[in-house]
Amino acid sequence: MSDFPLGTFVASPTDATVARLRTQRIGLMSFELEAPVTSGRLDVSATRSELMLTLNIAEVRVGNPLMQAAARALVGSGENSTLTFDAYGADDDVMRFVGTARAGDVEVPMEVTTAVDEQGGAVTITLAGWARFTDVKIPLPGMSRVNTIEVDVSATIPFTRN
């Protein structure tokens, strides 16, 4: 972790800052979703790091509009319109974060690895990781409930020093 700048960084997302989620096949199809990143915080010390990200799942976008309800069911439930990922941990060159993603009554383990590009006081973090959803109700005829869905997660997020 010695190559990473120490301190606190706050996400400075633009309208184009999205997290992408891609499922494995569920029945005959797979889902590709995009959700805007609305906020984030990265704290890095010499011995510990912490990452928090918030996605606006009310604005989840799917390539097929007919799949919109199913996509929202996958990443959230109830009235909650955000998904929050809180995680800790680090490795030497590439930082690895393990934590929990929460949205409404959905709570899943999630792990992401980050690559960092620092320029001045700005830091761009590229995330690559996974999440595993279990016992998901999908509002599509013939699907109703799926035991396990594995999702690949990726995003490139600009941060600035706080």
Look at residue 134 and tell me if it is in a domain: yes
Look at residue 103 and tell me if it is in a domain: yes
Split at pLDDT 50, 70, 90, the class of 53 is very high
Residue 68 pLDDT > 60, yes or no?
A: yes
> Average per-residue pLDDT in the chain?
77
Count of structural domains, the chain: 1
Residue 1 pLDDT > 50, yes or no?
A: no
Look at residue 54 and tell me if it is in a domain: yes
Question: Which domain CATH number covers 134?
Answer: 2.40.128.110
Task: State the average pLDDT over residues 99-114.
Answer: 81
Look at residue 1 and tell me if it is in a domain: no
Look at residue 141 and tell me if it is in a domain: yes
**Domain containing 96: what range?**
7-157
Split at pLDDT 50, 70, 90, the class of 98 is confident
| pLDDT recorded at residue 67 | 66
Look at residue 2 and tell me if it is in a domain: no
> Long-range CB contacts (< 8 A, 24+ apart) of 142-148?
142/27, 143/26, 143/27, 143/70, 146/26
Task: State the average pLDDT over residues 53-68.
Answer: 76
